[in-house]
Amino acid sequence: MLTLIANIKTLVQVRDEAISRVSGHQMKYLPQIENAYLILEGDRIHSYGPMSALPMLQINETIDASGRIVLPTWVDSHTHLVFAASREQEFVDRINGLSYAEIAAKGGGILNSAAKLATAPEELLYEQAVGRLEHLIQLGTGAIEIKSGYGLSTESELKMLRVIRRLKEDYPHIPIKSSFLAAHAFPMVYKENHQAYIDKIITEMLPLVAGEGLADYMDVFCEQGFFSVTETEQLLEAGLKHGLKPKIHANQLHRSGGVQVGVKYNAVSVDHLESMGEEEIEALRGSNTIPTLLPGAAFFLGMHYQPARMLIDADLPVCLASDFNPGTCPSGNMNTLLTIACTQLRMTPEEAVNAQTLNGAAAMELEQEMGSISVGKRASLIITRPVPSLAYLPYAFGENLIERVIV
């Protein structure tokens, strides 16, 4: 079964060879073909090229993409898609002067979400997550990482992870990775006894999570007031013993040491990175760890943005992800993220597209499957409405310029 997408104004992110990520100044380069064709075979990319070289094949279905841009779907490598309730009251509290850290210290924030999640039935959590996921697919997201971390008890963490597993089973056309984030905050009862909670995660939760194959990665919120570097080390080591590679929250509010500890344990990615300096850059250089920026959270909290230019100038492979969650970024819209990356992080449209396609795929270890228009990769595509250029996508912010998503 062959599907032809014909007369594509611009086919974006075409990569012949198996490039797994793009770094530094290479990020400005986004390979494109004007007036292109793309042929899909079942769920895979069969071939592509200029219309002038369209091969003579038995085509079953043709989609005309005149005036339209075709690009790979967004790969969102950092979300907290499963949650029980919104938190708009904290949003109002912040407008009235409280900080994110002050709200968290009072039992709001992550602990607020954990209290709501504890009483939510698994079925309801699943239905809410399905609604969010389907909405994100319409907005062009074709692969997604989802974290636990609003459970903070054995029962609730397992409940979240089982919801994610069910999403994986029911959406096989959307690659989903799950991260175990019990180390997201200390429950109130453990405020004075951190080690007891860490022991509980390591000796009670991890064996169950790993035993049921419920997680792909181990996540820790390494931050002042949350998990220290030493605590993070213990947790990452335990995760590795169970086969879970790290993917961590680092340097959101302070230079927490999170980047260095992530690199030390060969994390797939270190995410957030609002607060960065030379030592962090040095640690990332020469490592395989992908620096993942979550500017949606900085936007929504009114914080300073991630130094994307500094990371790109240091020749690093910058990735962008949404951080969709009810507290710090209640939107998983990767199209809005594109605009924030361009206007606030001063990334070019080409750099931003590379960051949320190919480098997003690398940050989920999906570089063989997703992130570019390459023969054999998944036919996971965004077809835009008629638009004048690629730069028009981040430029016309707030518009929905996606006509069709194929996954």
CB of 282 to Fe ion, least distance (A): 24
Distances (CA, A) of 168 to 165, 175, 206: 5, 7, 20
Close Cβ partners of 199 (under 8 Å, ≥ 6 residues apart): none
Q: Which residue has the tokens 């094949």?
A: 57
Nearer to ligand NIG, 15 or 249 (CB): 249
Minimum distance from residue 110 beta carbon to ligand NIG (Å): 5
Q: Going along 286-397, which residue ranges are E strands?
A: 290-293, 319-320, 381-386
Which residues, numbered 247-276, are part of the site for ligand NIG (CB under 6 A)? 249, 252
Q: 109 is in the binding site of which of Fe ion, ligand NIG, none (Cβ under 5 to 8 A by kind)?
A: ligand NIG
Q: Which stretch binds Fe ion (CB under 5 A): 107-115, 187-195, 302-310, 319-327?
A: 319-327
* Residue 243 φ/ψ, nearest 5 degrees: 80, 15
Binding range to Fe ion, per CB under 5 A, among 6-14, 172-180, 321-329, 382-390: 321-329
Site string for ligand NIG, 212-251 (x = CB under 6 A): ---------x---------------------------x--
Q: How many residues bind ligand NIG (CB under 6 A)?
A: 12
Question: Which residue, 157 or 323, is less far from Fe ion as judged by CB?
Answer: 323
**Residues linked to residue 319 through DSSP beta bridges, in sequence order:** 292
Helix (H, G, I), strand (E, B) or coil at 135: helix
> Which of the choices Fe ion, ligand NIG, none does residue 183 contact, using the CB cut-off of 5 to 8 A by kind?
none
Smallest gap from Cβ 11 to Fe ion, in A, equals 33
Does the footprint of ligand NIG cover residue 113 (CB under 6 A)? yes
Both tokens assigned to 65: 């993409």
Select from 38, 297, 316, 353 the one that contacts ligand NIG (CB under 6 A). 297
Q: Is the dihedral of CA 278, 80, 369, 386 positive or negative?
A: negative
Please state, in angstroms and rounded to a whole number, the distance separating the CA atoms of residues 378 and 368: 9
How many Å apart are CA 362 and CA 344, to the nearest integer? 24
Q: Which of 140, 295, 327, 394 binds ligand NIG (CB under 6 A)?
A: 327
Q: By Cβ distance, which residue is nearest to ligand NIG?
A: 327
Out of 73, 79, 322, 328, point to the residue binding ligand NIG (CB under 6 A): 328
Instruction: For residue 118, report the phi and psi dihedrals to the nearest 5 degrees.
Output: -60, -35
Q: Which residues pair with 373 in a beta bridge?
A: 14
Q: Binds 297, which of Fe ion, ligand NIG, none (CB < 5 to 8 A, cut-off by type)?
A: ligand NIG
Q: What are phi and psi of 180, to 5 degrees?
A: -90, 110
Q: H or E stretch including 300?
A: helix 295-301
Q: d(Cα 402, Cα 384) in Å, to the nearest integer? A: 4
CB atoms within 10 A of CB 89: 11
Q: 27-56 as b/e, with b when 16 or more CB fall inside 10 Å? A: beebebbeebbbbbbeeebbbbeeeeebee
Identify the residue whose tokens are 């795929």: 361
Q: Which does 73 bind (CB under 5 to 8 A by kind): Fe ion, ligand NIG, none?
A: none
> ∠ CA 243-246-249 to the nearest 5 degrees?
155
CB 407 within 8 A of CB 40: no
Query: Interface with ligand NIG by CB under 6 A: which range of 65-73, 154-162, 321-329, 356-364?
Result: 321-329
Task: Check residue 295 for interaction with ligand NIG (CB under 6 A).
Answer: no
Give the residue with the Cβ less far from ligand NIG, 271 or 350: 271
User: Measured between alpha carbons, how far is 51 from 1 in angstroms, rounded to an integer?
Assistant: 20
Candidates 72, 109, 140, 257; binder of ligand NIG (CB under 6 A) is 109
363 vs 407, which CB is nearer to ligand NIG?
Answer: 363
Residue 394 binding ligand NIG, by CB under 6 A: no
The residue whose Cβ lies closest to Fe ion is 323
Stretch that binds ligand NIG, among 155-163, 311-319, 324-332, 374-382 (CB under 6 A): 324-332
Among 156, 256, 325, 354, binds ligand NIG (CB under 6 A): 325
Given candidates 90, 323, 351, 367, which one binds Fe ion under the rule CB under 5 A? 323
Binding site for Fe ion (CB under 5 A): 323
Binding site for ligand NIG (CB under 6 A): 109-110, 113, 221, 249, 252, 297, 323, 325-328
